[in-house]
Structure 1
Amino acid sequence: MRRAFATVIALTLLIPSGHAEETPMETTHPYVGLWVTEDGRIRHELLSNGRYVEARGTRERAYEGRYEVTGNHIEYWDDTGFTADGDFIDGVLHHAGMILYRR
């Protein structure tokens, strides 16, 4: 019993809570995948592990971080500390004044 308790405590200290990568989204989740502006300049790839990669123009990895979706709302936490959010409305992602379409 004492050993099991110590293991639980050790895991709790090693694994930060609230991180999307702990509980990957199902790959069938409707928002996982590539979202692109009409001109193709901005591309958000929402990965099934709760991470995202944003490409801008020729910069393929301009931003990277984690995201969480609650209902139709998405929250982004960039690895540099920047935060942003958006909403999925009628199959379109509205994010920071941009409109991205599922590809």
Structure 2
Amino acid sequence: MAFTQIVQALGAFTARVIPAAKPARPLEIDLDLPARLSPAERAAIGTWITEDGAMQLELRRDGRFDKTKAAEQVRYRGRYEVDDNRLYFEGDSGTVALGQLRRGVLDIGEKRFRKAA
């Protein structure tokens, strides 16, 4: 038996033993389109400032926040989640806080934030 015949026979044998790869399906998730936001999430997103102007809190659409204290130029970052009128904050340093959004006022601990114009 010639070498080429052996290779062809081996190829035919492996084609029967090993199934052919399935064709790749197109990705069903469109990563460019943002997810639909709930009304509570839409109300929370934006820039919030304390009544005395000492702190600024930016809630971004991607679930991240930046909190800045104006006098000290200190910046805190982390993530947040919205559950109806409650906001759960977790800083990158591990600190956690609970906020509540009512009638355009965001209460986090003793601080009251209003949406920036």
- Percent identical pairs in the alignment equals 29
User: Residue 41 of structure 1 corresponds to which residue in structure 2?
Assistant: 54
Q: Provide runs of 4+ in structure 1 moved above 6 Å.
A: none
Structure with higher Rg: it is 2
User: Residue 77 of structure 1 corresponds to which residue in structure 2?
Assistant: 90
CA RMSD of aligned residues (A): 2.4
Q: Any unmatched runs of 5+ in structure 1? A: 5-22
Q: 1:59 to 1:48 in 2, by over 3 A?
A: farther
How far apart, in 1, do the equivalents of 2:84 and 2:68 lie? Answer: 25
Q: 1:59 to 1:47 in 2, by over 3 A?
A: farther
Q: How many residues align?
A: 82
Within the candidate set 62, 71, 77, 1:64 is matched to 77
TM-score normalised to structure 1 length: 0.70
Pair 1:54 & 2:67 matched: yes
How far apart, in 1, do the equivalents of 2:54 and 2:105 lie? Answer: 16
Q: Any unmatched runs of 5+ in structure 2? A: 1-20, 23-33
Indicate the SS of the match to 1:30: helix
How far apart, in 1, do the equivalents of 2:79 and 2:71 lie? Answer: 22
Which of the pair is proportionally richer in strand? 1
TM-score normalised to structure 2 length: 0.62
